[in-house]
Amino acid sequence: MSHGRRAGIGFAIGCSLGCLTHTIWATLGVAAIVAASDVAFTALKFVGATYLVYLGVRALRSRGEEVGATEPEASSRFLLRGFIANAINPKVALFFLAFLPQFVNPQGPVGRQMVWLGLGFAALTLVIFVPLGFFSGAIGVWLRRRPGVSRWMGRLTGTLFIGLAIRLALARRNF
């Protein structure tokens, strides 16, 4: 939000691309391994929590001067952040494991069906997240004129990310 529309759209595209990793994992059965293995689930969970803490600390340390200061080509950095945030989220992996197979005909080509379903999900994610990134970026224009508000937004965001990291680290599998 505070880095503008290009960053918001880049993050949205990254999240959508992150869905494709879960599609691949579910198609290859890796998601089933994560679901069946306490060690794999816990490892992925802590990688995700660590990344959220990293983002939270960065946001807490932000001074507000960075609002809107990104160069147009820097949106690729946000694309990567969105991709990583989604790709290492174990709850999304478990969602894909539980959700996609419900719509697969076991008599047909299962792998191909899984890929098409995952591509559809990624496309829908793009349709929803890109407008969110665009309009969130518009709020960044407003924030650019108010660095004091931006500092508080950074603190709020950092606290939220660290809280989500703690929640993720303490999460249990519900099956």
Task: Please check whether residue 175 lies inside any domain of the structure.
Answer: no
- Tell me the pLDDT tens digit for each residue of 71-86: 544 678 889 989 998 8
Task: Please check whether residue 163 lies inside any domain of the structure.
Answer: yes
Mean predicted confidence (pLDDT) in 153-170: 87
Categorize the per-residue pLDDT at 49 as very low, low, confident or very high, splitting at 50, 70 and 90.
confident
Cβ contacts of 149 within 8 Å, gap of 6 or more: 64, 143
Cβ contacts of 6 within 8 Å, gap of 6 or more: 70, 72, 74, 75, 78, 137
Mean predicted confidence (pLDDT) in 16-25: 89
3-state secondary structure of 1: coil
Categorize the per-residue pLDDT at 48 as very low, low, confident or very high, splitting at 50, 70 and 90.
confident
Task: Please check whether residue 89 lies inside any domain of the structure.
Answer: yes
Categorize the per-residue pLDDT at 163 as very low, low, confident or very high, splitting at 50, 70 and 90.
very high
Model pLDDT, residue 64: 60
User: Is the pLDDT higher at 151 or at 13?
Assistant: 13
Task: Please check whether residue 63 lies inside any domain of the structure.
Answer: yes
Burial letters 84-95, b for 16+ CB under 10 A, else e: bbbbbbbebbbb
- When the pLDDT of each residue in the chain is averaged and rounded to a whole number, the result is 80
Full DSSP string of 23-80: HHHHHHTHHHHHHH-HHHHHHHHHHHHHHHHHHHHHHHH--STTTT---GGGHHHHHH
What's the CA gap between 52 and 162, in Å, rounded?
A: 6
Please count the structural domains in the chain. Answer: 1
- Tell me the pLDDT tens digit for each residue of 83-135: 998 888 877 777 777 677 778 787 878 788 888 998 999 999 999 999 988 88
Task: Please check whether residue 12 lies inside any domain of the structure.
Answer: yes
Assessment of whether the complete model's pTM goes beyond 0.95: no
Range of the domain at 78: 5-170
Categorize the per-residue pLDDT at 172 as very low, low, confident or very high, splitting at 50, 70 and 90.
confident
Model pLDDT, residue 83: 93
Would the pLDDT of 65 be above 60? no
Categorize the per-residue pLDDT at 67 as very low, low, confident or very high, splitting at 50, 70 and 90.
very low
